[in-house]
Structure 1
Amino acid sequence: MRIVFRCDPALADHLPRPVPARAILPDWLRSMPAKAHSEIHGREIRTVKQCPPFVDAMSHGFMILLPCDMTVRNGAFSWDWAIPAPSTEGHPRSPLSFHVAEQLAGAPFSNGLAAVKFNSFWTIELEEGWSLFATHPVNRHELPFRLVTGVVDSDRFTDAGINFPAIWSDPDFSGVLPKGMPIAQCFPVPRAAPDLVFERFDEAHKAAYEKTVTEVLAEPGVYRKRFRAKRRHTPAHAV
């Protein structure tokens, strides 16, 4: 999968580039213990740090990053971002804009307030037949907002940036959102609808099920050692 990011040439030296999600896993995941004592089990058990599906979900795709430090005080947002004027007409210069609350009327996640909208400074081009799935950074509940998930046909919509609306979920937050903080986790998804096939276990599938479950319960690391696909690092190229 080749993903092409483009930006206004006047801003190229001022923007943090999107990065593979695996490159900016949070500090809390790195520092959390691999094992913790369970009163119920009466022994040490593995934490989610050793759960490949948990970590792989956080490592999947790429992250869009906040382009500058942003200060939040008493519900007000401010920033000091000295960048040149974009050379492209109609291009945003502000890192943030808003959706009025009425645009979310009836949505169960609306808090009755305006939604923040992280403006994009990169266009994204995918290969034919693929769309871009954009969601809140996976398992990142410490962030004071919740991104609204969306899908964009980025094999066709390639000439303008994708903006990322979010619900501000922590009204008590006061501080600085740092430049480079992940604001959206994105990954390509095929646009073709899947065929859903339903079958009953035959004897071979029953035997395979019983064998796999027995092995998984008998020792740790079976999924990681035998079933987890190796992730390959894909280098970035300037275009």
Structure 2
Amino acid sequence: MKLSFRCLPELAGHVPEPVPARASLPEWLKAAPSLVASEVLGGAEVRTFKHCPPLIDALAQGVMFRLAADLDIAGGEISWDWSPPVTETARQTRSPVGLHVPEQAQGLPFGLPDGQFVLKFTNFWTVEAPGGVSLLFTHPLNREDLPFRTLAGLVDCDRYRDGFVHFPAIWQDADFSGRLPAGTPVAQAFPIRREVLELDIRAMDRGELARHLKVQDGLQQDPGLYRKSFRAPRER
């Protein structure tokens, strides 16, 4: 599937490009140990989540959109020192972030303290998807280390292909102070084909139960069975 991304001519080379999510895997994943001793299990070694293919695949799938400029956060205020080229004709902000006023989140269960604004990360790229394909934009998956949480949204990017999709986010870490560097992942996007889902829900029949038990027994005997037998090849 091909996705096309376009920025304003003046901004080419001045804003971080969207990248395949596997190109921005977090440093904590690379640094995490593979085996650790478990107190609960009397010191026996156990494999960590670094061995969990579904978790890794979630981190690596789709497209990652990244912060355009360094943000300095101190005392509840956000500032930046960034001067991208001026666009003479387009109506595009030059700010890497914007805001939604607190009232716009009224009645929503986001846990906003009274008076807190909703942050909005500016996206400088249009996205064009093939016909019948929408994009689900959401918080970078499994990235609880980030001090904000991007809200999810679904956009029909086969139709809305010439406008910008920006990313509202809730700032969650009230104690955060320092720099959020340019290039920080702010949203992960997944193409989704628009089609009606049919749900087939019932108890397993004898054949399905036999297959299920075979899988369960196999996973007990070989912890790597899912990765070797059930996981589809991933593009590099």
- TM, length-normalised to structure 1: 0.95
Shift of 1:186: 0.7
What are the Cα deviations for residues 42-92 of structure 1, in whole angstroms up to 9, with x where unaligned? 311111100000110111101100011111111111111121102432111
Contact 1:36 1:47 in 2 (8 A): yes
User: 2:98 aligns to what?
Assistant: 97
* Amino acid in structure 1 at the alignment position of 2:164: G
Matched, 1:152 2:155: yes
Shift of 1:40: 2.4
Q: Distance in 1 between matches of 2:235 and 2:91?
A: 38
* Amino acid in structure 2 at the alignment position of 1:136: H
Alignment match of 1:179 (pick from 163, 179, 182): 182
* Amino acid in structure 1 at the alignment position of 2:87: P
- Percent identity over paired residues: 47
Contact 1:69 1:176 in 2 (8 A): yes
Q: Distance in 2 between matches of 1:77 and 1:218?
A: 52
Contact 2:119 2:169 in 1 (8 A): yes
User: 2:194 aligns to what?
Assistant: 191
Shift of 1:145: 0.4
- TM, length-normalised to structure 2: 0.96
Shift of 1:193: 2.3
Contact 1:35 1:44 in 2 (8 A): yes
Contact 2:3 2:129 in 1 (8 A): yes
User: 1:236 aligns to what?
Assistant: none
Shift of 1:231: 0.5
Structure 1: tracts of 5 or more residues without a match: 234-239
Q: Distance in 2 between matches of 1:71 and 1:98?
A: 16
| Alignment RMSD | 1.1
Q: Which aligned pairs between 1:28-47 and structure 2 lie closer than 5 A?
A: 28-42=28-42, 43-47=44-48
Contact 2:83 2:94 in 1 (8 A): no
Q: Distance in 2 between matches of 1:89 and 1:16?
A: 19
Aligned structure 1 segments of 4 or more residues deviating by more than 4 angstroms: none
What are the Cα deviations for residues 23-57 of structure 1, in whole angstroms up to 9, with x where unaligned? 11111110100111112223111111000001101
Aligned residue pairs total 233
